Chain A
Amino acid sequence: MTTLLEVSGLSTHYVAARGTRVTRAVEDVSFSLEAGRTLGIVGESGSGKTTLALTLMRLLPPGARIAGGSVRFEGEDIFTKSDSEMRAIRGKRMAMILQDPMASLNPLFTVGDQIAETLRAHEQMPRRRAWTRARDLLAAVRIAVPERRVGEYPHEMSGGMRQRVVGAIAISCEPKLLIADEPTTSLDLTIQAQYLQLLREIQRERDLAMIFITHNLGIVAKMCDDVAVMYAGRLVEFGPVRRIFDAPAHPYTRALIESIPRLGDPTARLTAIDGQPPDPAALPPGCAFHPRCPLVVDRCRVEAPPEVRVAVAHHARCWLASERPI
């Protein structure tokens, strides 16, 4: 299998007040993703998961600074690319779906125009052909009567349909990597099920690698091959999805899994995690999870744990994880 994306030692910081206030939004993150596979990046608000995605796309806002590390996509270092080279990659070889489809679509243009725009920009496709392709893409994302819908405006569509249009734009230039940032949070449950199934079908048809950024472990359980758990800017655990659910090595991951109500067993008391996620601008010393950790030892309070190998393709950042046999 070929490695599509390789992230090593990546750090992204937000700098404010002339460099006197530094927020380490992403700190020393490494992982890789193979072609056609799905990675889930799980974390709470402020854990750095969205900053990580924006770094991969090089879409960081002003004030953000890549402080170190590298991102190799299809073997090429994307940090050495010029802005125009990056524009050619974005939308064509890697694409992104955001949470709110209304914010991604322009209300003044028909959806057909907006899909065709991508094709015309990246593939230099003539207007007529791009419009025909737009219609075919709407059919590909299972929109009924695409020949009529292609001429409609976003406000004439429901939320689920708009998110399908965003999906159609994302896959229009046959990307290799699709990054989806909370793609179904604004959708209803049965519409979410439709959309997730659609993404899975598209992935199979086009051999697409996907990164799901989410706070919802259920989406990870349903969609992903591998899981990366982020806490306070650090990747605290990475591994195959079944291992993460069956034998989580980091106390945060375990607590997160145990804190979720289960449909099959509704009466059991939930295991709550004490405290709250830290302010990314003022992280506690040592391991950032130590104030909430049920297994905390003295070392955790002073020294940040390194990444250790727990098993094949399973890593964790925890002082206790290293003591377990592989």
Chain B
Amino acid sequence: MTALLEARDLTKLFPVGRGLFGRGGGAVRAVDGISFAIEPGRTLGIVGESGCGKTTTAKLLLKLEEPTAGDILFEGRGLTTLDKDGVRQYRRSVQAVFQDPFASLNPRMRVDAIIAEPLVTNEKIDKPHVRQRVARLLDMVGLPARSADLFPHEFSGGQRQRIAIARALALSPKLVVLDEPVSALDVSIRAQILNLLVDLQRDLGLAYLFIAHDLAAVAHMSHSIAVMYLGQLVEYGPAKTVATDPKHPYTQALFSAALPSHPDESRDEIILTGEVPSPVNPPSGCRFHPRCPHVLPRCAPEVPKLRGAFGREVACHLYDTAR
């Protein structure tokens, strides 16, 4: 299958601590040379802890940030080569749903105006047509037609997230970036929204980039999973393979820290010592080596490359001989 979107050596640095004349100071290596692909109609899940670069990756895909190096290919064409029209086309094809539906909807706009806004700014269509499209979008996300005339505050968190999804779908995108789409919602509402997203993917052939800290939710939603640590990919492969049989010591620790769904479900817990180091001055070699329970002498000087092993890609010296 050809990829809908491909990231090649994507890198984003944020300069920090610059002196008065712009000299000196380092840079936060927020995203550091990562490559991945999203296929049409499929979901890529990104997992990792705060500061690992998953949100920066999402922003790069949404063109809210420009990469320092590397490129994003959409339907085979590099974003850096696109002209103004191409960029506009790209922005229409890639939409986003964010974590907090209380912050992402304008409280002074009615729901129909919120959902129609991308239509009105991007397409020349007349009012009755807009009205019709909004009604269809509301129906698609499971909201009654009368919602159109109400304001966001008249809805619960779950319903607001449905409105945000309807707006994201207004321009018939091919890829939707979902950044923690259910973590602000009540527990009993999350399953509704996750099921809705699965249904929409099946019906509309959408591709998703799914970012969440709830590993079980990511494993549930994704076809493939990318695990990030300090701006780099440490493991990348089919969701089931990565989730049920992780190989990178960080992935193993991360998934072992996932909370059980039953009191008898015991995992061999790997409790990591220490905390995630600063991305301004990441450790040499493998960035995980100071916390790694299986650290080898070569992990400190030598950067492990992401290479295929056991049906996925993993960046770890432990598997150098296994390939």
List residues of chain A with CB under 8 Å of any chain B CB: 44-45, 158, 160-161, 188-194, 197, 215-219, 221-222, 241-242, 245, 255-257, 259-264, 266-267, 269-274, 276-277, 292
Contact = CB atoms under 8 A, between A and B. Distances in A.
Nearest to B190: A259
Nearest to A197: B271
B53 to A, nearest CB: 14
A266 B188 contact: no
Contact of A259 (B187, B260, B269): B187
A190 B49 CA distance: 8
Interface of B: 49-50, 156-159, 186-192, 194-195, 198, 213-217, 219-220, 239-240, 243-244, 253-265, 269, 271-272, 275-276
Contact of A263 (B190, B261, B271, B276): B261
A158 B158 CA distance: 32
Given A190-B254, A218-B261, A272 B186 contact: no
A194 B272 contact: yes
Most central of B213, B217, B261 by chain A CB within 10 Å = B261
B259 A190 contact: no
A255 to B, nearest CB: 7
A270 B272 contact: no
B268 to A, nearest CB: 12
Given A193-B269, A197-B271, A270 B254 contact: no
Nearest to B51: A188
Top 4 A-B residue pairs of the complex, sorted by shortest distance between their CB atoms = A218-B259, A193-B257, A261-B220, A259-B191
21 contacts: A44-B188, A188-B49, A188-B50, A188-B276, A190-B253, A191-B275, A193-B272, A197-B269, A197-B271, A219-B259, A221-B265, A222-B260, A259-B190, A259-B191, A261-B216, A261-B220, A262-B220, A263-B219, A266-B220, A266-B243, A273-B188
Nearest to A275: B188
Contact of B244 (A161, A264, A272): A264
B257 to A, nearest CB: 4
B218 to A, nearest CB: 9
Contacts of B271: 190, 193-194, 197
A217 B190 CA distance: 13
Contacts of B256: 193
